[in-house]
Every structure is written in C-alpha cells, then in structure tokens.
Chain A
C-alpha cells in the first residue's frame, strides 16, 4: 500500500526507535494491572455476568 520498500524487520526496528522503553513499560504495566484487577473481579460476579458473551464468542469456558 504505502511504501513497499521497507520490510517487517524495518517496522520492528522503527517501532523500537520511536517508542521509548519507559513508555512501553508503563503501557505494559497499566495493561497488566487492569488485567489483574479484572481477574479479581472475575470471581464470581463478573464471570457469571459475562456468561452470554463467552457462549456467543465461543471462548473456552462454559
């Protein structure tokens, strides 16, 4: 589409150069913290409340 000159490796390198490690770490930590909170909620209210969604999306659990 856009520029067909660069490769996947270039994209990874560019991403590594553009995003500074601290920002990436912050984003990861935030996502991990949110996920952790959700896992706590999962027991059992949120889990039960998402029952229809899990069926509908065909995700693991029953």
Chain B
C-alpha cells in the first residue's frame, strides 16, 4: 500500500512536472492571447481587476499543474493498490485505471460543464457549479466502474467482443447526457473554431497527464518489485 502510494506520488510528480511545463510554455501564453482577443470585443470580467500580474499567474499556474499531477498520482497509487484485483488487462492495468480516472475526474464533469474558452462567461454562479461538478465526478466514477466491471464480467463469460460492447454502454449513456445537458456557458467572443481547438487542447493535455502517470507508475511499480506486495510481512523493508 505505502509502496504503491509512493510510486503514485513519484509518477504524479514526474507527470505533473511535464504538465506544469506544458502549462507554462503553451497554455498560459495561449490563454493570455485569447483573452486579449476577447477583451477587444468588449466587456470581459477579467479586465476589471486582475489582482495578480500575468507573470505571477503563469508561474503559480505552472506550479499548480505540478501539484495537480501529485494529487492525481497519489490518488492513482492508492486506487491502484485497492482495485488492482478487479482490473482487467494484465500488464495494461495501470492504463485501464488511468482511463477510468480521466473519465471520472475530467470527462464526466465536462459533459455538463465543458472547459471554458477564455472570453466565455459561465451562466450560473459557483454555488451551483461546484456541487454540480462534484456530483458529476461521482457519476463519472460510477460510469467508469460499471464499464470496467461490465467488461471484465462479460468478457469472462461471453468473449471479448461482448465485453467491449457491454463496456461501451455506460460511455454511450454519458455521451447522451452531454448532448441532453443544457448549455452552461455563454458569450464567446472567440470564434467557434478557436473554442473547439482550445477544448481539444484541454482534453488532450488532461488525457496526456493521466497517460504519463500510468506509464511512470508502471515503471516504478515494476522497479519496486512485487514479491512482498501482499506478503504477510509487509514491513520487510522496514518502512510502512
């Protein structure tokens, strides 16, 4: 357990460094550019009073990216240790869990609350959006769990094709939710193409973060070795 947590934090820190660098080099400049574009269109809330300079924002945001990776990595390590027996995929287990994590933490909330392109304004206050977001994370967890368990069970009894089909069903339900959900953002001085591109960027960067965590974690987990992962004497190395 502690070994897995440690591997997870290390993997998360590594992936978070890459993600923080990405935030620093790509995301921050892009957002500032888009916001300047949007502010030419007229009223934009951030023009009013930016409490912090753009440089400080870029630095803190990059650091936030690193911490985000550490947080996800720690959660990944603990979840991997607890749920590993139920995960399908043999050596691909970390990737299955990373996909489930991505679905839970990011994709599910995005079905109703898509990433806001700079220049867009949310329609509802944060008192509504925060509980909604957390609730959607819960739904995402359910969807990921039913999908993975459905695949494991159906592919054991009826073969892989059926398993994949069963695994798809909860995902399709989530897709329908995203279509049925009412819009939660308004405005958008930015053209639709830019907005779509920005969302793909956000989506891919989060997916990349999870993938990096999974890659690094499987490396670290292999190196730690597992002869004593479940042995009755977990204090073999005198840590824990």
Residues of A within 8 A of B (CB): 1-4, 6-8, 10-12, 14-15, 18-19, 44-46, 48-53, 55-62
From known contacts A1-B91, A56-B23, A56-B27, infer whether A18 and B64 are also in contact, taking CB-CB under 8 Å. Answer: no
Q: Nearest Cβ in chain B — how far from A50, in angstroms?
A: 5
Q: Which 10 A-B pairs have the closest CB atoms?
A: A58-B115, A49-B60, A52-B61, A53-B61, A56-B27, A53-B64, A2-B226, A58-B202, A48-B51, A52-B28
Cα distance A8–B62 in the bound complex, in angstroms: 36
Assess the B109–A56 pair: CB atoms within 8 A: no
Assess the A45–B115 pair: CB atoms within 8 A: no
In the complex, the number of residue pairs spanning A and B with C-beta atoms less than 8 Å apart equals 119
Q: Does B77 reach chain A (CB closer than 8 Å)?
A: no
- Give the dominant DSSP class at B's interface: helix
Cα distance A6–B84 in the bound complex, in angstroms: 10
Contacts of A46 in B (CB 8 A): 60
Q: Does B155 reach chain A (CB closer than 8 Å)?
A: no
Contacts of B8 in A (CB 8 A): none
Contacts of A10 in B (CB 8 A): 85
Contacts of B39 in A (CB 8 A): none
Cα distance A40–B77 in the bound complex, in angstroms: 28
Q: Does B190 reach chain A (CB closer than 8 Å)?
A: no
Q: How many residues in B have their beta carbons less than 8 Å from beta carbons of A?
A: 55
Assess the B116–A62 pair: CB atoms within 8 A: yes
From known contacts A11-B85, A50-B64, A52-B28, infer whether A62 and B120 are also in contact, taking CB-CB under 8 Å. Answer: yes
| Interface core residue of B57, B64, B199 (most chain A CB under 10 Å) | B64
Contacts of A53 in B (CB 8 A): 23, 27, 60-62, 64-65, 68
Q: Does B175 reach chain A (CB closer than 8 Å)?
A: no
Of B58, B68, B85, B110, the contact of A8 (CB 8 Å cutoff): B85
Q: Nearest Cβ in chain A — how far from B55, in angstroms?
A: 10
Residue of A nearest to B66 (CB): A53
Q: Does B177 reach chain A (CB closer than 8 Å)?
A: no
Contacts of A6 in B (CB 8 A): 85, 230
Assess the B133–A60 pair: CB atoms within 8 A: yes
Residues of B within 8 A of A (CB): 1, 23, 27-28, 31-32, 45-46, 50-52, 56-62, 64-65, 68, 81-86, 90-91, 93, 106, 109-110, 113-116, 118, 120-122, 126, 129-130, 133, 199, 202-203, 205-206, 226, 229-230, 234, 240
Q: Nearest Cβ in chain A — how far from B23, in angstroms?
A: 5
Assess the A8–B82 pair: CB atoms within 8 A: yes
Of A3, A12, A49, the contact of B56 (CB 8 Å cutoff): A49
Assess the B61–A50 pair: CB atoms within 8 A: yes
Assess the B116–A55 pair: CB atoms within 8 A: yes
Cα distance A58–B65 in the bound complex, in angstroms: 12
Cα distance A56–B35 in the bound complex, in angstroms: 13
Cα distance A56–B1 in the bound complex, in angstroms: 32
